[in-house]
């Protein structure tokens, strides 16, 4: 589509460097001239295709009409002549020349329409019977079929005649006056000529209409594309609501633009975040090193400062890695590696891994995990998402706090219990609940944004990326992350669609 | 041990060469892929540390693929700035034994290189591991120290097994997460230390000499005598 010149006006195209012209030779106006550019337009091509189809079908229709009217009359005439001729030769065989002459005269007398032509001549071309005065002048007696101009009763008419030599040197000529039929044929031919003119007119008008329609339909798409490439990512193609192919195209393009806009927004957020949130730890590390360089008195001081700066840098690297990981997940490239995963044993492993750490901190981890919970996704990603939720829960739970890790398989969309994403194939809900300070309702929507840190989190270490990653993992799987009040504490529910193979991939696509 | 380092960044290479030499290894260094391939194919090394993006027309992946197609099984550790999951998968698929991303801590690199060379040597099925008076029977899944039976949870058993298989080597927390729990990222909560300390309670506490040692800024090491 990028090749349609009405997207890029000829003056612009004229200034493109030659190698671009080489690459897209089909529409380069410089190569084909203005006429070439005109015919290069897809709209014009479609119009011409329409005109050709219209012309071809009109022609076929005309040919059939001709064959079934004028052609039919000719064929009927010739058939009648042949039957007549056959009858006469039979008479000759039955009763000789006399019988033949008699029959011819009878037939002439009985010919009410007065359109029959007979002539029987002997070997010297002398007339024996018939309604022609003599053998037509200038016609040698060696033809089979011909059209003759004849003079009958003072009127010159046209006749279709058949001739054959009979035994005894006789020549018999049988024909029909076809003047009226010729006239009819002329009328039909005239009508067809006019029809052809009308067809050409209609075809041209139709072709222009098709071209106009084509251009009008694409105009909005190309206008949107131009606006988007000029930087306006808010523009969308209008959907007419006919739910036809063009609507489908418009919706596909709009989906694509939505996705691009989301990714762009993500990039913008990340660069803002880097500008603001990474400046602080980098400044801290730099100051520490500078301070050590200028005012460290003992080697031990210096070592300590370097080690702390190193830890700061490790922290910065960790933030970078988390950011890149989120970006990687959001880009969606890993979706091709999705497979059927049973998250139950993985969750049990994680419960075991964190249980010890929780106990060490005086907390209790209670796990309630079903024997099996199949989802369609990436094991490592889900594992990391759950680990982030558990890290958060442990960080914010007070000593003696209880952390709950649970999972349950929700059947259809009805039993999913108010889940936003009503996935028909059912979902697996992974719940991590703590009894810490929780997240106030007004902050919940923002809690999964990058670098968001709630009031309660200000005094704890962390980057504000944990929930953003969980959210990205949920989105990639076509699921959701719900943050609820655990009264007290936070209840984070990671909802993942069960998705059976291809179905799962499709729900992922929707997200 | 003889180690080949193929790395084009002069500072990183100098740092790694210095560190490996200090740890008692012999290091050959080359800065481009073609020379690296030539060296790796013509001389015997115990391990190769390989960068992904290299000058000289042969990048790390191609170098390794060529090497493996020649039947060379020298353990290879990728050291690369390409940190995406797909990059890691590609590196391991091409025949890499381990994959580390930059920036890295040298202690981690050293531990992993040493673990690799050990892996290269101990071929054939092992049914019994012994370190000092600690014995592990991999078939009956029983552990004894000084003849006394030690009761371990399944995960503790796997943790001890990993430590015993790498006895005398530094094992980092990341290596334990990957090798024992199949985790491929670092959780914020320090979950490993707690498990190691629980293992110590059972394996070291009742006995006069400890076997599991903490290596500062690096990880753990299971070995006979105190450092």
Q: Where are the domains of chain A?
A: 10-67+193-228, 82-185, 334-510
pLDDT classification of A138: cutoffs 50, 70, 90: low
Residue, of A275 and A53, whose pLDDT is higher: A53
Domain B2-121 identical in fold to domain B128-222: no
Nearest to A387 among B84, B187, B197 (CB): B187
pLDDT classification of B46: cutoffs 50, 70, 90: very high
Is any Cβ of chain A less than 8 angstroms from the Cβ of B93? no
Is any Cβ of chain A less than 8 angstroms from the Cβ of B155? yes
Chain segment A26-73, per-residue pLDDT in tens:
444 445 567 777 776 777 888 888 888 888 888 898 888 888 887 888
Collect all residues of chain A within an 8 Å Cβ-Cβ radius of residue B198.
356
Q: What pLDDT, on the 0 to 100 scale, is given for residue A495? A: 92
Q: Between A and B, how many CB-CB pairs are < 8 A? A: 54
Smallest Cα distance from B192 to chain A, Å: 8
Nearest to B194 among A317, A333, A356 (CB): A356
DSSP, residue by residue, A90-156: HHHHHHHHHHHHHHHHHHHHH-TT--EEEEEE-TT--EEEESSSSSPTT--TT-SEEEEEEEETTEE
Instruction: Please check the confidence at residue B55 and state whether its pLDDT lies above 80.
Output: yes
Contact B86 A317 (CB under 8 A): no
Do the Cβ atoms of B145 and B135 come closer than 8 Å? yes
Burial B177-208 (b: 16+ CB within 10 A, else e): bbbbbebbbbbbbebbbbbbebbbebbbeeee
Instruction: Please check the confidence at residue A264 and state whether its pLDDT lies above 60.
Output: yes
The DSSP H or E segment spanning B41 is helix B33-42
Q: Which of A52-56, B36-40, B147-151, B182-186 has the lowest mean pLDDT?
A: B182-186
ipTM for the assembly: 0.84
Q: How far apart (Å, rounded) are the C-alpha atoms in residues A348 and B157?
A: 17
Chain segment A378-417, per-residue pLDDT in tens:
888 899 999 999 999 998 888 889 999 999 888 654 433 4
Collect all residues of chain A within an 8 Å Cβ-Cβ radius of residue B185.
325, 380, 384, 387
pLDDT classification of B212: cutoffs 50, 70, 90: very high
Residue in chain B lying closest to A355 (CA): B191
- What mean pLDDT is predicted for residues A225-251? 85
Instruction: Please check the confidence at residue A418 and state whether its pLDDT lies above 60.
Output: no
Which CATH code, of 3.10.450.50, 3.30.230.10, 3.30.70.2740, 3.30.450.20, is assigned to A82-185? 3.30.450.20
Q: What angle do CA A267, A268, A270 make, to 5 degrees?
A: 65
Contact B85 A380 (CB under 8 A): yes
Instruction: Please check the confidence at residue A14 and state whether its pLDDT lies above 50.
Output: no
Collect all residues of chain B within an 8 Å Cβ-Cβ radius of residue A462.
188
Q: Write the class of the CATH domain A334-510.
A: alpha beta
Residue in chain B lying closest to A317 (CA): B103
Q: What pLDDT, on the 0 to 100 scale, is given for residue B186? A: 79
Collect all residues of chain A within an 8 Å Cβ-Cβ radius of residue B188.
388, 391, 395, 462, 466
Smallest Cα distance from A470 to chain B, Å: 13
Strand, coil or helix: A484: strand
Q: Identify any residues that bridge with B80 across adjacent strands, giving them in sequence order.
A: B101
Smallest Cα distance from B73 to chain A, Å: 28
Nearest to A354 among B103, B189, B197 (CB): B189
pLDDT classification of A239: cutoffs 50, 70, 90: confident
Collect all residues of chain B within an 8 Å Cβ-Cβ radius of residue A387.
183, 185, 187
Query: Half-sphere exposure (CA, 13 Å, Cβ side) for B49?
Result: 32
Mean predicted lDDT score pLDDT of chain A: 80
Contact B85 A334 (CB under 8 A): yes
Q: Where are the domains of chain B?
A: 2-121, 128-222
Collect all residues of chain B within an 8 Å Cβ-Cβ radius of residue A349.
181-182
If one looks up domain B128-222 in CATH, what number appears? 1.10.10.10
Collect all residues of chain A within an 8 Å Cβ-Cβ radius of residue B86.
333-334
Q: How far apart (Å, rounded) are the C-alpha atoms in residues B179 and A352?
A: 16
Q: For residue A72, with 0-12 CB atoms within 10 Å meaning exposed, 13-18 middle and 19 or more buried, which class applies?
A: exposed
Percent of chain B topping pLDDT 70:
96
Residue in chain A lying closest to B190 (CA): A357
Smallest Cα distance from A312 to chain B, Å: 13
Instruction: Please check the confidence at residue A450 and state whether its pLDDT lies above 80.
Output: no
Instruction: Identify residues of A whose CB sits under 8 angstroms from chain B CBs.
Output: 313-314, 317-318, 321, 324-325, 328, 333-334, 337, 349, 352-354, 356-357, 359-360, 380, 383-384, 387-388, 390-391, 394-395, 462, 466
Is any Cβ of chain A less than 8 angstroms from the Cβ of B224? no
Which CATH code, of 1.10.3720.10, 3.90.226.10, 3.40.50.2300, 3.20.20.20, is assigned to B2-121? 3.40.50.2300
Nearest to A324 among B83, B103, B194 (CB): B83
Collect all residues of chain A within an 8 Å Cβ-Cβ radius of residue B184.
380
- What mean pLDDT is predicted for residues A160-168? 82
Chain segment A95-123, per-residue pLDDT in tens:
888 888 888 888 888 887 778 888 888 88
How many residues make up chain B in this entry? 227
Smallest Cα distance from A310 to chain B, Å: 10
- What mean pLDDT is predicted for residues B52-60? 88
Smallest Cα distance from B57 to chain A, Å: 28
Q: Which of A133-147, B38-52, B160-174 has the lowest mean pLDDT?
A: A133-147
Residue A246 CB partners (closer than 8 Å, separation 6+): A217, A240
Q: What pLDDT, on the 0 to 100 scale, is given for residue B111? A: 92
Q: Give the number of other CB atoms < 10 A from CB of residue A418.
A: 6
pLDDT classification of A150: cutoffs 50, 70, 90: confident
The Cα-based distances of A240 to A1, A217, A277 in angstroms read 20, 10, 45
pLDDT classification of A456: cutoffs 50, 70, 90: low
pLDDT classification of A422: cutoffs 50, 70, 90: very low
Is any Cβ of chain A less than 8 angstroms from the Cβ of B81? no
Contact B191 A395 (CB under 8 A): no
Percent of chain B topping pLDDT 90:
62
Contact B83 A321 (CB under 8 A): yes
- What mean pLDDT is predicted for residues A233-243? 83
pLDDT classification of A425: cutoffs 50, 70, 90: low
- What mean pLDDT is predicted for residues B180-193? 85
pLDDT classification of B171: cutoffs 50, 70, 90: very high
Contact A391 B188 (CB under 8 A): yes
pLDDT classification of A432: cutoffs 50, 70, 90: very high
Residue in chain B lying closest to A351 (CA): B191
- What mean pLDDT is predicted for residues B77-85? 89
């Amino acid at each position: 589509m990028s090749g349609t010149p009405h997207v890029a006006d000829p003056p612009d195209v004229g200034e493109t460097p030659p190698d671009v012209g080489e690459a897209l030779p089909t529409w380069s106006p410089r190569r084909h001239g203005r006429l070439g550019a005109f015919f290069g337009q897809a709209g014009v091509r479609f119009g011409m295709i329409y005109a050709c189809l219209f012309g071809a079908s009109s022609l076929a229709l005309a040919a059939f009409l001709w064959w079934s009217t004028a052609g039919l009359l000719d064929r009927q005439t010739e058939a009648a002549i042949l039957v007549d001729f056959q009858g006469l030769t039979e008479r000759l065989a039955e009763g000789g020349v006399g019988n033949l002459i008699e029959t011819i005269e009878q037939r002439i007398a009985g010919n009410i329409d007065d359109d029959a032509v007979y002539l029987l001549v002997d070997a010297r071309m002398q007339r024996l019977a018939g309604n022609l005065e003599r053998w037509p002048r200038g016609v040698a007696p060696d033809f089979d079929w011909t059209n003759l101009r004849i003079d009958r009763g003072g009127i010159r008419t046209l006749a279709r005649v058949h001739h054959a030599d009979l035994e005894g040197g006789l020549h018999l000529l049988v024909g029909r006056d076809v003047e009226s039929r010729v006239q009819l044929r002329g009328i039909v031919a005239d009508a067809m000529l006019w029809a052809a003119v009308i067809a050409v007119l209609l075809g041209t008008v139709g072709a222009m209409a098709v071209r106009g329609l084509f251009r009008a339909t694409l105009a909005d798409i190309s206008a949107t594309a131009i606006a988007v490439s000029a930087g306006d990512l808010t523009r969308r193609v209008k959907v007419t609501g006919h739910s036809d192919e063009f609507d489908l195209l418009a919706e596909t393009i709009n989906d694509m633009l939505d996705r691009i806009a989301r990714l762009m927004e993500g990039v913008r957020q990340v660069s803002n975040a880097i500008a603001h949130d990474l400046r602080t730890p980098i400044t801290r590390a730099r100051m520490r090193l500078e301070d050590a360089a200028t005012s460290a008195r003992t080697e031990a001081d210096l070592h300590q400062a370097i080690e702390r700066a190193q830890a700061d840098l490790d922290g910065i690297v960790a933030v970078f890695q988390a950011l890149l990981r989120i970006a990687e997940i959001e880009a969606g490239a890993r979706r091709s590696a999705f497979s059927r995963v049973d998250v139950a044993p993985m969750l049990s492993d994680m419960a075991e891994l964190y249980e010890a750490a929780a106990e060490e901190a005086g907390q209790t981890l209670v796990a309630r995990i079903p024997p099996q919970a199949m989802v369609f996704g990436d094991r490592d990603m889900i594992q990391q998402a759950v680990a982030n939720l558990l890290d958060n829960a442990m960080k914010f739970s007070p000593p003696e706090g209880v952390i709950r890790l649970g999972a349950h398989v929700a059947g259809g969309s009805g039993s999913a219990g108010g889940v936003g994403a009503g996935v028909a194939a059912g979902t697996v809900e992974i719940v991590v609940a703590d009894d810490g300070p929780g997240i106030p309702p007004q902050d919940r929507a923002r809690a999964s944004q990058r670098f968001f840190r709630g009031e309660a989190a200000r005094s704890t270490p962390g980057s504000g990326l944990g929930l953003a990653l969980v959210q990205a993992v949920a989105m990639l799987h076509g699921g959701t992350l719900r943050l609820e009040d655990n009264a007290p504490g936070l209840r984070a529910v990671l909802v993942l669609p069960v998705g059976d193979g291809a179905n799962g991939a499709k729900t992922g696509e929707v997200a | 041990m003889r180690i080949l380092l193929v790395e084009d960044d002069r500072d990183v290479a100098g740092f790694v060469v210095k560190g490996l030499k200090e740890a008692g290894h012999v290091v050959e260094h080359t800065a481009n892929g073609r020379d690296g391939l030539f060296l790796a194919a013509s001389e015997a090394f115990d391990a190769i540390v390989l960068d992904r993006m290299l000058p000289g027309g042969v990048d790390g992946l191609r170098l390794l693929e060529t090497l493996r197609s020649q039947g060379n099984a020298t353990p290879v550790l990728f050291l690369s700035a390409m940190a995406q999951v797909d990059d890691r998968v590609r590196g391991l698929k091409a025949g890499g034994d381990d994959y580390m991303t930059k920036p890295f801590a040298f202690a981690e690199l050293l531990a992993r290189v040493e673990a690799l060379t050990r892996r290269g040597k101990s071929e054939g099925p092992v049914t019994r591991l012994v370190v000092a008076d600690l014995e592990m029977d991999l078939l009956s899944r029983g552990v004894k120290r000084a003849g006394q039976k030690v009761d371990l949870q399944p995960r503790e058993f796997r943790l001890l097994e990993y430590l015993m298989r790498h006895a005398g080597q530094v094992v980092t927390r990341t290596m334990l997460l990957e090798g024992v729990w199949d985790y491929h990222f670092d959780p914020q909560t320090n979950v490993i230390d707690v498990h190691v300390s629980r293992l110590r309670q059972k394996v070291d506490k009742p006995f006069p000499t400890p076997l599991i040692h903490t290596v500062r800024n690096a990880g753990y090491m299971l070995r006979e005598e105190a450092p």
